[in-house]
A = this chain, B = another copy of it.
């Protein structure tokens, strides 16, 4: 093995042929660092490539490669028929330019305060320690986790493979900014039949999930500082989305009939948007009553406000026909219906959709005209095939039955292990269940005690923005097999006991 540890006496450079970094890279980095540090002064003449190659004991092409790169980046200046020099007008950086091998972020920065954060981002940083760690593997009973154990992964893999194998070049290209046409058609059929949404495929716009849909609609609807009704308690993502879009979230109480529309009218009659989950409110699980639906629609029509209908899981009605979407009652074209495949397929698939009112189709098209495709075109095509082939409808049916079974099993387990302390409410839709605390216990403390023992439940208090009018626990049972439920509720019983003793 030939080792060249040649030293360019004139430049004090040392190369190492045993390093995994190519020699020309070493030479480039070495010269660059010495120029930046001022060790090679502006205007200094550089030895010829031939001379350097000899001094360093490397091929001349290696030297030329490094010098060309330094010239291209402006560190060296070469004039035709003249020698190569260090660029004469270089503002110097700090003396201690790190070596290219330095990799630890903590050591490589000069003492610096870094760029300044926006006010909203500063708040983010200080509260980050308490934020839920969504990256961690889900445990019983984390809300929002679907029954991944029942997802037909092999069938999905086959569909994806087939779509990739047969894909036309058009699918590799950016595609339609509104979404893949066959998927829009399949979704229009599905939501018409199963959710009572009235739409044609042109009204369907593919999104990368619910948050992106909220964001898109709020940006079209809100001027800075405009008010938005959000449910209290409610889905934390709604609050975040309104803040991010520059709006002012106005928490409106939710009771047994859903969002209290009259409270909304009293608190913010001129709000531009109402963000609601009428079919199955989160976290309370209530349904917006018909008279409130009518009142909400009338308010929106009268004030030309938008209703953003978040229909995140009402497809999973355990028995009977799913409730009709609010969109199906909307005669004035005020409702934007938002759906997601995060629950009905799987969370790792970032695909959802919105259904725009007919009068706003042009606006959504215009907003997307200059944008890239909203989501992976090939995954959109795979999902379209999955829907068209009937696999999706079959999977939904299986999930409905499974959620009914798991919901009932959880009710039984809670009654068996936590009766007297917890009063669970029956649940006929979705994959969450709510329970009140009979004893005067802090739900936050119960949550913490359970977490310490490896069981994840959500505290109702955490979902309130205004006054905490209720306390209780929210259980996700979607991802928990019936046979694993019981262990969770037994641990929870111990957590309740511990919380009571404290």
Contact = CB atoms under 8 A, between A and B. Distances in A.
Interface of A: 24, 28, 32, 36, 65, 68-69, 72-75, 87, 89-94, 97-98, 100, 102-106, 108-110, 112-121, 124-125, 127-128, 131-135, 137-138, 145, 148-149, 151, 153-154, 156-157, 160-161, 164-165, 167, 169-178, 196, 198-200, 202-203, 208-209, 211, 219-224, 226, 236-237, 240, 244, 246, 272, 287, 289-291, 294-295, 297-298, 300-301, 304-306, 320-321, 323-324, 329, 331-334, 342, 346-351, 357-363, 365-367, 369-379
Nearest to A305: B115
Nearest to A105: B358
Given A160-B164, A173-B137, A320-B68, A109 B333 contact: yes
Contact of A379 (B65, B128, B324, B376): B376
A367 B137 CA distance: 19
Contact of A93 (B24, B156, B329, B359): B329
Total copies of this chain within the assembly: 2
A156 B350 CA distance: 20
B291 A91 contact: yes
28 contacts: A24-B321, A72-B287, A91-B291, A91-B295, A102-B198, A108-B358, A109-B331, A109-B357, A110-B332, A112-B333, A112-B359, A114-B357, A117-B363, A118-B222, A121-B219, A135-B176, A148-B172, A148-B173, A153-B172, A157-B164, A172-B347, A172-B348, A173-B347, A211-B371, A219-B244, A375-B376, A376-B379, A379-B379
Contact of A121 (B112, B151, B220): B220
A475 B183 CA distance: 33
A230 to B, nearest CB: 15
Interface of A is mostly: loop
A178 to B, nearest CB: 7
A395 to B, nearest CB: 13
A125 B364 CA distance: 9
Contacts of A297: 93
Nearest to A221: B118
A109 B157 contact: no
Contacts of A291: 74, 87, 89-91
A120 B177 CA distance: 19
A135 B178 contact: yes
Given A148-B173, A365-B128, A246 B224 contact: yes
Nearest to A295: B91
Interface centre among A24, A246, A324, A361 (most CB of B within 10 A): A324
